[in-house]
Amino acid sequence: MSRRASVKYIPKIIKVYTTKYVFEELLLLNSSFEKLLLEAIDEGLSSLGDSSKQSVYFHLEKTFNINKQNIPHKIEEFADALEKIFGVGAKVLEIVIMRQLYEKVGGVVEYGQEDLVFTEYVAAMKQSFLKKKQRTGPIHGCVAESEKKE
């Protein structure tokens, strides 16, 4: 194969690489948000005291099959479990967690209702976090030449 013939494949390779890079960047953003969410939950549960927090994590895992690291992926189940454990008191704990999450993520939360539903609030905070990070540009500041606009 001549050098000239192989040049036509370079844009496709760059595009595949760039698409893979964007996907990896989104995974990093998701994992960053999940880390912030777990920190907010941990701090919210800490308001109960350390031994109570550990008891809640134990109960979540043994009774509801939700381990600490999977909470961001099972946020609905987590909220249901809190309600089963604490009853109406779960709302107070959810508010504490939402405040902690807001402090960590910051920014404007686009939420259309006055009544805050914990799971919807977490989803809105995630969207706000991802939008804010996308506006600041790629994580590593790398944009392929073929992706730049002229």
- Report pLDDT digits (tens) over 14-66: 444 444 444 444 445 556 889 999 999 999 999 999 999 999 999 999 999 99
Residue 68 falls inside a structural domain: no
Residue 72 falls inside a structural domain: no
With 60 as the cut, is the pLDDT of residue 111 above it?
Answer: no
Residue 120 falls inside a structural domain: yes
127's tokens: 């969207």
pLDDT digits (tens, 9 = 90+) for 54-93: 999 999 999 999 999 999 999 999 999 999 999 999 999 9
pLDDT of residue 16: 44
pLDDT of residue 110: 56
Residue 57 falls inside a structural domain: no
Residue 62 falls inside a structural domain: no
Type of residue numbered 63 = T
What burial class does residue 8 get, using C-beta atoms within 10 Å of its C-beta: 0-12 exposed, 13-18 middle, 19+ buried?
A: exposed
> Helix/strand/coil (H, E, C) string of 14-27?
HHHHHHHHHHHHHH
Q: Please compute Rg for the chain using Cα positions.
A: 21
- Highest mean pLDDT range out of 61-70, 111-120, 123-132? 61-70
How many domains, in total, are found in the chain?
1
Residue 26 falls inside a structural domain: yes
Whether the pTM exceeds 0.75: the reply is no
Residue 35 falls inside a structural domain: yes
Distance of alpha carbon 150 from alpha carbon 147, whole angstroms: 9
Q: Provide the domain limits for residue 8.
A: 3-47+87-147
pLDDT of residue 4: 45
144's tokens: 């392929």
Residue 113 falls inside a structural domain: yes
